[in-house]
Amino acid sequence: MKIAQTYLNTIIDELNMMVVVISKDNTLVSANKAMLEFAGLSLEDVMGEPLWELPWLKHDPDIQNKLMFALSDSYFGTSSRFNASYKDREGLEYEIDFIVKPVMNEDEPEYFICMGYNITELVQARKALTERERRIKAFFDHSNEGYFFLSLPDKIQKDEVTDQIILEMIEHFKLDDISQRFEEIYGVKIKDANHIFEILNLEDRLEDVISSLVESRSVTYQMSFVAQEEIKHVEVVLVGIYDNDQFEGCFGIVRDTTDQVNYLERITFLAHKDYLTGINNRRNFFNEGDALIESCKKDNLPLSIVMFDIDHFKKVNDTYGHDAGDVVIRDLAKLVADSICEICVFGRYGGEEYIVLVPHPVEDVYDNFEIIREKVSEKEFDEDNTPIHITISTGIYNLELDNDSLQSGISKADKALYESKSNGRNQTTIYVDSIHGISSRDKLTGLFTAKSMRYKLNKTLMDVQSIEDSMWVIYFKLSVLKEDRLLTEVRHHKTMATCLSRTIRNSDYIGRIGKHGFMVVLRNVNMKQVDDKHQRMIDNIEIGFSGMLGNVLTIETSALNVTNLINDEYVIAEAEKHLEII
């Protein structure tokens, strides 16, 4: 995943913190204004520098070590946080709260966003709260974070804290002070300490949080909520206030991280989703698809792969323009997404082609996608009040979870899709290995087997009759008069397959009929085109079997329009009836 520079600049320059972006090879990619001003450097001074050579880290091994440990954790997708003291170029000491967050791509870190909050005043305030109360109050009122102070009437020795004492502490917490910014973030007027706990979503786990606060001196967590009809994201930091080992209260910091979260969510979306349709892009389809396959294996659920694309999509672009084509692609994705289950994995496979993983039996999937296909053919896709009508062709494969990979399943669904396209489009085909797989082809000639041909004949008849298309067959039957020492029957069949294959179009197909029969199926042709093609086949055969016709073997042939015949049996019978010797 590649983060555009405009996104980086927008994210880091607008944040109220010091930010450095580190690449996965530990060199500096960018730093925001706050960081550069704090360090007294320009971006050109440090761009591309190794992390350990950066001026603000080079002289401080403690910070350097802590940061390297944090980056190590981030390589596994874990955000890290630590505090450290730092002296700037003028020798002034600061307390910095560091956060390291990885930006992940397919379980691999692409960048590390290192954020530093200057908490010097808060740390000093904790050390000398009474003396600096007025100054801290002024700081609260003008800070971009929200703050509050809670105190107890009596100090409590840390090692004497029990569950019962924690319950008493919760009852006696008093709200001493709260900043206006805190109330602005949450959009409410705070009443007391209990109201604070409710707002911070701590009611159900307050005892555990206070226990951790006493033990570890600080607690940090993220939360989201709705305020003023807007989803907000915040980071909450609770810090214990101690006089030596006596706990006397705490202060809280609430940082509005909505912009940062939204930017990161947007970057993640762009990495995983197709920009036009909002469904999975090809890469993320494979990620989620593999996960669904493992889930179906575990739960012993059926799983089907569906591939479909828009028929004659180029014509849509050529007729209505590419903007209209984009509308069709987008709205088709929405129609299908609204028609499939929530746990289906739906993605754009490329161009006008889509792919879906459906954890249901293949028969149910077929029925559902036939309904979808009919919806698509009836829908008016609208671009600037211009109705656009389209159809889709679909291929479905029932994944064998113990044997198939996702890629092999896609290959089989694609073969079923190809048959839907070849047979006239606007239809759905279920992959059957004996019809579409390796076993559908005759090992000797590479042509379709007799079983596969019968299936294809019946399907083609049904298709042409539904759309009033034409269907012709050219039939050849070979009879061996006497065996030739050099030209065996096997070689006759191979020669015959070669002669016929040279003359057909992509939409035509050839197969074996019985032991010596060969049938060519043609669609959407007229009689003259059939006669021309038939004659070219005969010419090829006469060349291929030069000197043998009538001597070693005879070949009979027929060509006829079978559009209105009932099924494969009638087609073969009629072809046999009209045979004539070449």
pLDDT tens-digit series, residues 87-113:
766 777 888 888 888 888 878 888 888
**Mean pLDDT to the nearest integer, 545-561:** 90
Interval 338-354: pLDDT, tens: 999 999 999 999 999 99
> Is residue 327 very low, low, confident or very high in pLDDT (cuts 50, 70, 90)?
very high
Q: What is the pLDDT of residues 18-33, one digit of tens each?
A: 888 888 888 988 888 8
pLDDT band at 11 (very low <50, low <70, confident <90, very high): low
- Closest-CA residue to 147 (of 120, 112, 185): 185
Kindly tell me if the per-residue pLDDT of 64 is higher than 90. Answer: no
Question: pLDDT value at position 1?
Answer: 44
CA-closest candidate to residue 25, choices 52, 55, 46, 7:
52
Residue with more model confidence, 229 or 49: 49
Alpha-carbon distances of 319 from 7, 301, 314, 571, rounded to whole Å: 37, 44, 8, 39
The fraction of the chain above a pLDDT of 90, given in percent, is 48
The vertex-290 CA angle with 285 and 291, nearest 5°, equals 100
Provide the residue count of the chain.
582
pLDDT for 487 equals 57
**CA separation for the pair 434, 452 (Å, rounded):** 7
pLDDT at 334: 96
Is residue 375 within 8 Å of residue 389, measured between CB atoms? no
Cα(87)–Cα(56) distance, integer angstroms: 9
**Angle formed at CA 431 by CA 426 and CA 432, multiple of 5 degrees:** 135
**Residue 255, φ and ψ in degrees, nearest 5:** -110, 130
Residue 312: predicted pLDDT: 94
Distance, in Å, from the CA atom of 332 to the CA atom of 267, rounded to the nearest integer, reads: 25
User: What average pLDDT does this structure show over 250-271?
Assistant: 87
Is-contact 331 375, C-beta < 8 A? Answer: no
| Helix (H/G/I), strand (E/B), else coil: 103 | strand
Q: What is the mean pLDDT of the chain?
A: 88
Q: How confident is the model at residue 360 (pLDDT cuts 50, 70, 90)?
A: very high
Cite the beta strand spans of 337-411 per DSSP E: 345-350, 353-358, 381-383, 386-388, 392-398
Residue carrying the six token digits 């809670």: 150
The pLDDT assigned to 5 comes to 58
Instruction: Check if the beta carbon of residue 304 is closer than 8 Å to that of residue 384.
Output: no
426-474 residue pLDDT tens: 999 999 888 888 888 998 999 999 999 999 999 899 888 888 889 999 9
Q: How far apart are CA 194 and CA 239, in angstroms?
A: 17
Q: How much of the chain is in helix, strand and coil states, percent to nearest 5?
A: 45, 30, 25
pLDDT in tens, 189-203: 998 999 999 989 887
Q: Predicted confidence band at 136 (pLDDT cuts at 50, 70, 90)?
A: low
Q: What is the mean pLDDT of residues 120-148?
A: 70
pLDDT at 4 (0 to 100): 55
* pLDDT confidence bin for 142, thresholds 50/70/90: low
Nearest CA among 562, 544, 563 for reference residue 553 = 544
Alpha-carbon distance of 582 to 579, in angstroms, equals 9
Per DSSP, the residues of 300-355 read T---EEEEEEETTHHHHHHHH-HHHHHHHHHHHHHHHHTTS-TT-EEEEEETTEEE
Report whether 413 contacts 396 (CB < 8 A): yes
Residue with tokens 């045979």: 579
Q: pTM for the complete prediction?
A: 0.54
d(CA 501, CA 537): 9
Phi-psi region of 353 (alpha: psi -120 to 50; beta: other; left: phi over 0): beta
Query: Which segments of 423-559 does DSSP mark as H helices, in order?
Result: 433-436, 450-467, 489-501, 527-544
Which of 34-38, 146-150, 236-240 has the weakest average pLDDT? 34-38
546 burial level (CB within 10 Å; 0-12, 13-18, 19+): exposed
- Nearest CA to 114 out of 40, 46, 181 is that of 46
Tell which wins on pLDDT, 66 or 498: 498
- DSSP letters of 104-157? EETTEEEEEEEEEEE-HHHHHHHHSTTTTHHHHHHHHHH-SSEEEEEEEEEEEE
257 contacts 365 by C-beta, under 8 angstroms: no
Average pLDDT over residues 158-169: 89
What is the Cα gyration radius of the chain?
37
Round to whole Å and give the CA distance between 459 and 443: 23
The phi, psi pair for 398, rounded to 5°, reads: -85, 110
* Whether residue 405 has pLDDT greater than 90: yes
pLDDT in the model for residue 394: 97
Q: Is 35 strand, coil or helix?
A: helix
Could you tell me the end-to-end alpha-carbon distance of the chain, in angstroms, rounded to an integer?
65
With contact defined as beta carbons under 8 Å apart, do 187 and 228 qualify?
yes
Q: Is the pLDDT of residue 307 over 90?
A: yes
